Every structure is written in structure tokens, then in C-alpha cells.
Amino acid sequence: MKGFSISRLPRIEFGDGVLKKIPALAATLGNMALIVTGRSSFINSQSWHWLRSALKNAGIDYATCSIHDEPSPELIDEQVRLLKDQNINVVIAIGGGSVLDAAKAIAGLLPHGDSVMEYLEGVGPEKTYAGPPCPFIAVPTTAGTGSEATKNAVLSRRGKNGFKKSFRDEQLVPDYAVVDPELLASCPPELIAANGMDALTQLMESYVSTRANRFTDTLALDGLVAAREGLLPWYQNSNNREARSNMAYAALVSGITLAQCGLGSVHGLASPLGAFFPIPHGVVCGTLVAACTQINIEAIRQREPDNPALKKYARLGALLNKRNYSNDSDALKELVDLLTSWTETMKLPKLSAYDIKETDFARIVANSRGSSMKTNPIVLTDEEIRGILVSRL
């Protein structure tokens, strides 16, 4: 069997109502918390009032901070500057991937006070993070990014010369991932669609990644079963609790597998697209996953027909369509057809909806070969990457 290494995982609490465990978990880590939330969905809920008094009852004082968009390095540095003298010894993040990533970076830097720009991949000096971070509890309210299980915080500086890059270190993996599917009850259908396609893409990309292994394959396949059972049923009925739990699970597993194996061409393109244009991360994944899968399959068939990813894509076709095929060609075709039909059913917008034009493609392609593209199962040519964008304009 091919050897593999598995890096650190968070301790995991999963299930309806596990939010209630947070005060006791936090009390094992510290007595002065920073609670990081998003703009409104959690802080307008009963749970917010409950959490604040339960923390006080557990002897934990707290400061708060709220994150309203995908976080920038400047925002992280500003928050660290404001918070570093408050003796914070545990960070609790409750929100979508933006909140979790912001909190992960703040937790990493609070004990040290230096700028996150020192560590971001691909920009600046890329110093090695010495750590340790402040203890960190991650509580997702979207089912998509899996950030509750990963070692990176994605930060973006948007605009013409923008970038979207990770602050990454194994020490940044949360101490606890508290995944309570009830927190997802307020997600509207467009968020369910975009986030769900992010989780689906992460599972698929880590499964066919050049760094995939038997351990992560098992997890990814199970996560994909959950996504198959959860995504469309939850999108079509936001009160479907079983479907919602399946997606919370799929997202968690996608974070575990991506942290171990890396990703692929969808996430390679998500980096420049998210940096240059105001397009939400999940929408990038949802709009590109069928096209990227198709181009990967075509490229592998033409240039590397013995590449093991081809058989894996065929297996995904059978798994997601829930049927057996007498030959791989049919399974491969029906994989792409199914992804295309999910993209259409869930009305994922095309790139032009975000003012992306053909004249932007050269710049996007030139900036797509970051860490995610390096684990794509085949090296795509610039023309193939451009072809993906053309097909989704």
C-alpha cells in the first residue's frame, strides 16, 4: 500500500445541539474569550443570548468582534492590534468560512502581535510560523468550507492587484470543531447551493488529488455519499433536517480531506477569481466544478490514460448517480452531466454576472497556478484553463 501521513485534526463534536457544549469546552482552554461572529444570523438568534450567559456562568469573560466579508490581511492586523492587550486566552468563532478564517488568523497572531503579511503564502517573506496560537474553537454556520478542520486561513485583498492567499500552519488547526447542524437552519437556498458546491468540490478534488491516499479516499467517498443525500434535498426544502445534517457532515469531512491532500483546478481558479472580483467563494466552486471536471477528464484521456484519477472519476460518476455502469465512459459522461444539472438546478450564476470578461482571462489564468493547482490530477495547459473560463462566461 502507498504510504501516507495524516496531520493534526481538531477534536470534533458533531450533532444537533452540540453548541451547548461550548462553555464547558472553552473552560478547559481559558477564562477570557474572544467571540468572533458574522454580521447578523447568529447574533440575532436566541443561541447568542444563551451563549453569553452560559459563558459568564462558566466563569468566562469575553470580548467580541464581528466579520462582515471575506477577511483581508489589513482587517486581521487591525483586530490583533486592538485585541492583543486584553489577555484573551481562548478564541471562539461562530460563523461562515469568513468568520472562521478571520478568527483562525487572529488566534494565530494574538500571542505574538506581528503582521499576517509576514506569513501569507506567495506574497511577502513567507516566514515560518513559530506559534503557538491562542486556543481556538471553530463553530461553522455554513456547510461548505470545512475551515473548522483545516490548518489555513484564507485572506483576500480584492481589486486589480489583489490576491487571495493562505496563512497556513498545522498549529492553526482548531482545538475543537463544534459542528451543530441546527446552526444552519437560517441558511437561504442560494447559500446552501454555493456552500454545498464548495464542500462537494473539496471532496471531489481531494479524492482525485495527486496526494490522495487510502485513508482520505475512504473519508472523501463517505463525505460524497452525504453530499449526494443532502445537497439537493436541503436546497429544495430548507426544513429537511436530515439533509442539513448530511451537508454539515460533508463539509466537515471536506475540510479534513483537503487539509491532508490539497485540492485541484477549481480552487486553483478560485484564488485569482476571488481576488480580482467580488464573487463569493462557493459560487466560484459551483459554477466551475462541472467544467473543470470535464476538462480534467478530457486531458487525462488524451495525455495520461493510465492516470489513476480516471478510474476514480468513473467511481464518482457511479457514486453520485447511485448506479452501476457497464463501462467507465458512461460513468464519466454521467458524472459531468450530473454536475452540470446540479449547477443549473441550483441556479449558480455564470462568471459574467460578476462583471468578468474575456479580456480578464489571461490575468486569471496567469494567477491560477498556486498551491491548489499543484495537486490537480493532471497539469492543465493555459489553453485548457482558459477553456474552463470560456465555457462558464
Binding site for ligand NAD (CB under 6 A): 38-39, 41, 70, 95-99, 101, 141-142, 144-147, 150, 152-154, 183-184, 186-187, 191, 195, 198, 255, 281-282
Write the CB contacts of 247 (distance below 8 Å, at least 6 apart in sequence).
Answer: 143, 181, 184, 192, 195, 196, 199, 226, 227, 230, 231, 234
Residues 389 and 305: beta-carbon distance below 8 Å: no
Distance between CA atoms of 250 and 228, rounded to whole angstroms?
9
Residue of 107, 86, 84 lying closest to 29 (CA atoms): 107
Show the CA angle centred on residue 200, arms to residues 206 and 207, nearest 5°. Answer: 20
Which CB, 150 or 367, lies closer to ligand NAD?
Answer: 150
Which CB, 72 or 321, lies closer to ligand NAD?
Answer: 72
Closest separation in Å from C-beta 169 to ligand NAD: 12
Residues 141 and 177: beta-carbon distance below 8 Å: no
Closest separation in Å from C-beta 312 to ligand NAD: 21
Closest separation in Å from C-beta 347 to ligand NAD: 17
The cell numbers describing 57, all together, are: 456562568
Which CB, 60 or 129, lies closer to ligand NAD?
Answer: 129
Closest separation in Å from C-beta 76 to ligand NAD: 12
Closest separation in Å from C-beta 262 to ligand NAD: 11
Phi, psi of 129, rounded to the nearest 5 degrees: -75, 125
Which CB, 167 or 361, lies closer to ligand NAD?
Answer: 167
Which CB, 267 or 315, lies closer to ligand NAD?
Answer: 267
| Residue at shortest CB range from ligand NAD | 96
Helix (H/G/I), strand (E/B), else coil: 223: helix
Closest separation in Å from C-beta 66 to ligand NAD: 10
Distance between CA atoms of 338 and 317, rounded to whole angstroms?
8
Which CB, 101 or 175, lies closer to ligand NAD?
Answer: 101
Closest separation in Å from C-beta 331 to ligand NAD: 28
Per-position b or e across 193-204, b if 16+ CB within 10 A of its CB: bbbbbbbbbbbb
Which CB, 19 or 299, lies closer to ligand NAD?
Answer: 19
Closest separation in Å from C-beta 282 to ligand NAD: 5
| Strands 11-14 and 176-179, sheet pairing | parallel
Distance between CA atoms of 278 and 356, rounded to whole angstroms?
10
> Which amino acid is it at 373?
M
Which CB, 100 or 320, lies closer to ligand NAD?
Answer: 100
Distance between CA atoms of 371 and 166, rounded to whole angstroms?
10
Give 98's strand partners.
none
Q: Which run of H or E residues covers position 175?
A: none
Distance between CA atoms of 54 and 24, rounded to whole angstroms?
9
